[in-house]
Structure 1
């Protein structure tokens, strides 16, 4: 099957690397116009790689004016908005709750949770004007099970799941679907910054016995972006190799 996103305009945040870049490539290959939003600058090279139908924008997802400009760029350049993948995120400070700085806590909440809120807030009017759409939010298996020394990350991702469900209930009548993806350990820049003993322990506990490739998450995002998932909203999809089963 090909052309699964023909005629759709999409925004992907955190598109410069990891899951975001893998998803951008998949969406573009399936016919979507893609707005590649990132703060790193890496989105520029990816836009050049993809060519026609790809637009790189600088976006700080924690800032309302930046997210609003991101959505406006999609509408002005490609004529509407049908898919938003709120994917940008950071792991943040690794520390026990009592040892975590207030600044470290706030930074993770601003990017991982506030960023999703702002994406939904500013995308919804554009999607309504376009006849509806699909919003996909990156949560985490850390919304389901605890990871010591990652309290801010776990809290933010738990918030993403409930924000997803609430927005899904609010906008279903406007033909906007909202779902979340909860990846397990994926080979991305975030996992490269985690302590190796943590990664080793996660793999040892995982029934599948490995961590995932970003492309595996992109495949799920493609399904949720496409009309194949037209009757699915308010759901959170674990893609964790069975880690949370045990």
Structure 2
């Protein structure tokens, strides 16, 4: 498929993991992709491996940096048609809520939620001008249910709310706004903790944790004309974890009968 032929796309936090997978998918379908990341070397490494990708240093915590990235994308590609808000912060959880530091709370909300706001604000006039503008933000099941990390979860929940309110505002201008809410995704961030992923897998109804490409596929759909009548939605890409509690169901069913698995 070449659903993004001649499209200009800007993806934040795209130097690795989910963001890189999204850049790879959109580029494979014809998009010219601006891979932005606060780490310039990381962005450059990712761009080298993706045809049609250009690296750019961008800090979503700084308005001037965001405005410059958007302006560069428009200048380089001639238009900006897709914005993917993927950059985030997830500071370490604390055992007791009263020990949550102010700076952790502020950082997670600023980079995850306010950062997406900064990017959408800067991109909106250009997305509207393109006639096919789409914003897809990367939320989390943490924004829908308790999986820990108070600040990160609150930021992701706020991002889902922003998606709904912004969708109504942007629709008359021809811009669609949606959100993908992934469950546990096996990225490099889990390096050294693979055992945690193995323990988590059986709790997912589909029997595994997610992969970056699972999220990239959903983003490509929502950003494309195939989703032309979809806006303001949160799409869980979560292996069914929000719809079913496998561990509880098994506990209520009791121990397996001899010979059953």
* TM-score (normalizing by structure 2): 0.88
Give the 3-state SS of the residue equivalent to 1:186 in structure 2.
coil
Question: Which residue of structure 2 lines up, in the alignment, with residue 7 of structure 1?
Answer: 6
Return the alpha-carbon distance in structure 2 between the equivalents of residues 191 and 25 of structure 1: 21
| Cα deviation code 1:124-152 (max 9, x no counterpart) | 0111222240000010000111123x000
Question: Which residue of structure 2 lines up, in the alignment, with residue 111 of structure 1?
Answer: 111
Question: Which residue of structure 2 lines up, in the alignment, with residue 228 of structure 1?
Answer: 226
- 1:33/1:156 Cα in 2 relative to 1: closer, same or farther (>3 Å)? same
Matches within 5 A, 1:149-168: 150-168=149-167
Return the alpha-carbon distance in structure 1 between the equivalents of residues 201 and 228 of structure 2: 34
Shift of 1:49: 2.0
Moved over 3 A (4+): 189-197, 199-202
| Cα deviation code 1:184-235 (max 9, x no counterpart) | 00012344487955x4553232112211110111011111111110000000
- 1:233/1:102 Cα in 2 relative to 1: closer, same or farther (>3 Å)? same
The answer as to whether partners of 1:24 and 1:36 remain within 8 angstroms in 2 is yes
Structure whose CA Rg is larger: 2
Shift of 1:10: 0.4
Question: Which residue of structure 2 lines up, in the alignment, with residue 127 of structure 1?
Answer: 127
- 1:193/1:182 Cα in 2 relative to 1: closer, same or farther (>3 Å)? farther
The structure showing larger relative contact order (alpha-carbon pairs under 8 Å, at least 6 residues apart) is 1
Give the 3-state SS of the residue equivalent to 1:11 in structure 2.
strand
Question: Which residue of structure 2 lines up, in the alignment, with residue 185 of structure 1?
Answer: 184
Return the alpha-carbon distance in structure 1 between the equivalents of residues 108 and 195 of structure 2: 21
* TM-score (normalizing by structure 1): 0.93
Give the 3-state SS of the residue equivalent to 1:142 in structure 2.
helix
Return the alpha-carbon distance in structure 1 between the equivalents of residues 192 and 62 of structure 2: 25
Query: Gapped runs of 5+ residues in structure 1?
Result: none
- RMSD (Å), alpha carbons: 1.6
Matches within 5 A, 1:51-70: 51=51, 53-70=52-69
Shift of 1:55: 1.2
Matches within 5 A, 1:76-95: 76-95=75-94
Question: Which residue of structure 2 lines up, in the alignment, with residue 39 of structure 1?
Answer: 38
| Cα deviation code 1:143-167 (max 9, x no counterpart) | 111123x000110000000000000
Query: Gapped runs of 5+ residues in structure 2?
Result: 246-261
Shift of 1:90: 2.5
Give the 3-state SS of the residue equivalent to 1:75 in structure 2.
helix
The answer as to whether partners of 1:59 and 1:67 remain within 8 angstroms in 2 is yes
Return the alpha-carbon distance in structure 1 between the equivalents of residues 135 and 163 of structure 2: 9
The answer as to whether partners of 1:91 and 1:190 remain within 8 angstroms in 2 is no
